[in-house]
Amino acid sequence: MVVDVGEAWTPPHLFALTGPKDWRPPLSRTIFHESVHYWQFIGHAHLIELMAEDWARLRQFDATGDTVPPGPLRRAFAQRMEGAGFSTLDLMEAHARFWDVQAFGPPLLIELELQAPQRDVSQVLTLTEYEQLKTDGKIWRDVDVDGEGVGYSSLSFDLAMRLAAGRYAVPYLRLREQTNELIAAALFPLCVHFALHSASPPGFYLALVERLVPQIDLTAGRPIEHAWRSLYMDVLREAMLLHLDRHGREFRTGQATIHDSPLFHEHVGYTLAYTLLAQSCDHLEANRPRDFLVGPQAMPSGMRALWTLDFLLGCCGMAASRTPDLLAFLAPPVIRFADGQIWIPGALFDAFPFESAAPATAQQPPPRSQVAAALLALDETWSAMQLKVLGA
Ligand SMILES: [Zn+2]
């Protein structure tokens, strides 16, 4: 729940989340990427259940000083599924990486990667090779009248994904083997999103991709955000059927999962997250145009708002999920820098004027600074537990 950024503290700026490529990109990139992980942990049933497991261990340690071994979800988390070649953790990282590439654009991300002092990506791409690709006109989709690159090529998108560390690109590349870059870009975040609601994400992801690829037909030229929005309900339907097939029950949204978990009452970060998710649903229903909401018009608007929030969290890196009015609800509760100084990003967006009717949800969230302090204290207990486990 604490978003850790191993960089020097700097005064907070809302562009780090709303427009990361336009504000100190090397720093924004880390803040943005780690914030995507926060959104994953409040928006995906599997990860919330994993957190509930860890939470029970932490509670036990806090009360008695005894350490409890990791639960089944934690033990499976980083294990690569046989045949798939990737784990739930890899899937999560691939999803976060996909949003890095979308938010920054492949050329900027590739350049940041090539310049990063702590990374060596020369096995995938060297600076000389990159310069050659630029000269050959293979990085940009087009050039404008001044000779400046416009858009980006599918080669540069794939390269930016491949430059991700370790096995993080594998789930995306598995999809790319089966379809063109347009359909891959449209399906990838939605398939990972629903897989992260499921009981066993890697297998679910591969099975969902298998079912969907032959069904999808897209034509180029439309903004990709339109494709995610228009495909969301179809992918949801397919994912529900698949989950019923594999697990005998429907999956639930992140919000419903938090509500039914001990985290809702016991974990200060999840109490805050749940309250703000409920308020953001009210906000979406009251203040966004009808056609912003996903789902058929005949569906009750409260239900459409719930699924819209699920969509926004699944596509948490897209611009529509990072507008200031939504970040007032969804910004991570605390971002900690290398020297221990923090940002409380929600406070930045609270101060931002936006058109909003009062949320209908009665419960009000606890003050943000109180939550941030409590989360930092929890994080210390967690570190103490890890140290004891290592020392034992
Ligand atoms: Zn990451």
pLDDT range class, residue 66, cuts 50, 70, 90: very high
d(CA 36, ligand 1 centre) in Å: 8
d(CA 102, ligand 1 centre) in Å: 15
d(CA 16, ligand 1 centre) in Å: 16
**pLDDT at residue 163, rounded to an integer:** 84
Question: What's the average model confidence in pLDDT over 168-186?
Answer: 90
Burial of residue 75 (number of CB atoms within 10 Å: 0-12, 13-18, 19+): exposed
Distance CA 282, CA 196 (A): 25
pLDDT range class, residue 359, cuts 50, 70, 90: low
Distance CA 220, CA 222 (A): 6
- Residues 259-290: b if buried by 16+ CB within 10 A, e if exposed: bebebbeebbbbbbbbbbbbbbbbbbbeebee
290-349 confidence digits (pLDDT tens): 999 999 999 999 999 999 999 999 999 999 999 999 999 999 999 999 999 999 999 888
d(CA 93, ligand 1 centre) in Å: 5
d(CA 56, ligand 1 centre) in Å: 24
Tell me the pLDDT of the chain averaged across its residues. 91
Residue from 164, 154, 297, 320 nearest 228 by CA: 320
Question: What's the average model confidence in pLDDT over 228-255?
Answer: 95
127-138 confidence digits (pLDDT tens): 899 999 888 888
User: Phi and psi of 178, rounded to 5°?
Assistant: -100, -15
Consecutive H or E run containing 262:
none
d(CA 303, ligand 1 centre) in Å: 31
Kindly write down the DSSP assignment for every residue of 170-239, as one continuous string: HHHHHHHTTS-HHHHHHHHHHHHHHHTTSSSHHHHHHHHHHHHGGG----TTS-HHHHHHHHHHHHHHHH
> To the nearest whole percent, how much of the chain has pLDDT over 90?
72
d(CA 34, ligand 1 centre) in Å: 6
d(CA 28, ligand 1 centre) in Å: 14
Distance CA 148, CA 379 (A): 46
d(CA 3, ligand 1 centre) in Å: 11
**pLDDT at residue 142, rounded to an integer:** 75
d(CA 78, ligand 1 centre) in Å: 13
d(CA 249, ligand 1 centre) in Å: 30
Q: Lowest mean pLDDT of 131-140, 236-245, 268-277, name the range.
A: 131-140
pLDDT range class, residue 22, cuts 50, 70, 90: very high
d(CA 316, ligand 1 centre) in Å: 14
Distance CA 88, CA 108 (A): 28
**pLDDT at residue 123, rounded to an integer:** 81
d(CA 30, ligand 1 centre) in Å: 9
pLDDT range class, residue 353, cuts 50, 70, 90: low
- pLDDT of residue 356 exceeding 60, the answer is no
d(CA 35, ligand 1 centre) in Å: 9
CA dihedral 369, 370, 376, 380 (to 10 degrees): 160
- pLDDT of residue 96 exceeding 90, the answer is yes
Both structure tokens of 111: 């350049």
- pLDDT of residue 358 exceeding 60, the answer is no
- pLDDT of residue 117 exceeding 60, the answer is yes
CB 295 within 8 A of CB 303: yes
**Between 292 and 165, the higher pLDDT residue:** 292
3-class DSSP assignment, residue 343: strand
Both structure tokens of 179: 């379809």
pLDDT range class, residue 247, cuts 50, 70, 90: very high
pLDDT range class, residue 360, cuts 50, 70, 90: low
Residues in the chain: 392
pLDDT range class, residue 223, cuts 50, 70, 90: confident
pLDDT range class, residue 365, cuts 50, 70, 90: confident
Distance CA 387, CA 114 (A): 35
d(CA 118, ligand 1 centre) in Å: 15
Sign (positive or negative) of CA dihedral 352, 358, 360, 362: positive
**pLDDT at residue 134, rounded to an integer:** 87
Neighbours of 321 (CB within 10 A): 22
pLDDT range class, residue 355, cuts 50, 70, 90: low
2-13 confidence digits (pLDDT tens): 999 999 999 999
Burial of residue 117 (number of CB atoms within 10 Å: 0-12, 13-18, 19+): exposed
Distance CA 315, CA 84 (A): 23
- pLDDT of residue 91 exceeding 90, the answer is yes
Question: What's the average model confidence in pLDDT over 133-150?
Answer: 80
Using alpha carbons only, give the angle 198, 270, 92 rounded to the nearest 5 degrees.
Answer: 40
CB 16 within 8 A of CB 23: yes
**pLDDT at residue 165, rounded to an integer:** 67
- pLDDT of residue 354 exceeding 80, the answer is no
